[in-house]
Amino acid sequence: MFNRPVFTGVATALITPFTKDGSAVDYDSLGRLIDWQIDSGINALVIAGTTGEASTLSDDEHRMVIDFAVKRAAGRVPIIAGVGSNDTSYAFDLIDCACQSGADAMLVVTPYYNKATQNGLIRMYTEMADRSTKPLILYNVPSRTGVNIEPKTYAALAEHPNIAGIKEANGNISKIVETMSYVDGKLDLYSGNDDQIVPLLALNGKGVISVLSNVLPAETVQITSKFFSGDVRGSAQLQFAMHELVGALFCEVNPIPVKAAVAAMGYCENSLRMPLTVMEEDHRQRLLAAMRAHGLDV
């Protein structure tokens, strides 16, 4: 049995930097980002997730990015590998690779496009958890995948000793309350939405898997640390203060804005892979203004 929780606080859903023409992963920039995030006090890193543009990484790149991050972090923070797929056999291969690389946990999104029934989700996640030597965090984001993990499905999956937690991004607080009524104490809850960090902490959540923390890692950690220290009002005030920046970071589909933001900070090229394209200029100016309001020199 693994130790729970996988992390408490903030895990950055890290971008994947590419070279200027987008043809290759920029490992020098990735290494600098990992070091900066850890030096800023982040509690964990998610590698090759949605924000990391995993869907356009080649098979080799996907494996190499995870392996690189594990080696670069060198045990300083947990590395959570994005291994989800709508092809379960391919997800098995990614799980095997991530476990061999030394990742600390797996983030497994629900199958997209071909979807699944709730029974299908239970079978898929059970077989993944049986196969993995590291704990699984289930990732529910129906706006992208077209399938929702229902509360009673979580309840069934909570009985598996290798399923550790859930990244919940369905946006439906009532459903999350229902879920936690079944699984509190059995699964750890992480917000998958930066505009709902404090509300989900109030439901006994353990933290957030964050896009915002790509830009403001230390400040995002403060939201959770204040809450856990008992300063709920202070935590909420920070959540309120981040509202405009969070809105700007999601005014186009993620990770278009956050890649533009990190590039403006000088950490990488503003390079994405099709079908994603660079941020529209009026949106970029809104983003830069919100970043400047938080003291960033962009």
Cis peptide leading into residue 275 (ω within 30°)? yes
The residue annotated as part of the active site, out of 125, 134, 154, 167, is: 167
Cα–Cα distance, 298 to 232 (Å, whole number) = 31
The residue annotated as part of the active site, out of 139, 154, 190, 267, is: 139
CA distances from 233 to 10, 211, 219 (A): 19, 23, 15
Cα–Cα distance, 238 to 253 (Å, whole number) = 24
Q: Could you identify the residue written with the tokens 């590395």?
A: 79
Active site residue 139: yes
Residues 6+ apart with CB under 8 A from 96: 131
In angstroms, what is the C-alpha Rg of the chain? 18
Active site residue 113: no
- Residue type for 26, please? D
Q: Could you identify the residue written with the tokens 């898929």?
A: 124
- For residue 163, what is the enclosing H or E element? strand 163-168
> How is residue 54 annotated by DSSP?
G
Catalytic machinery residues: 139, 167
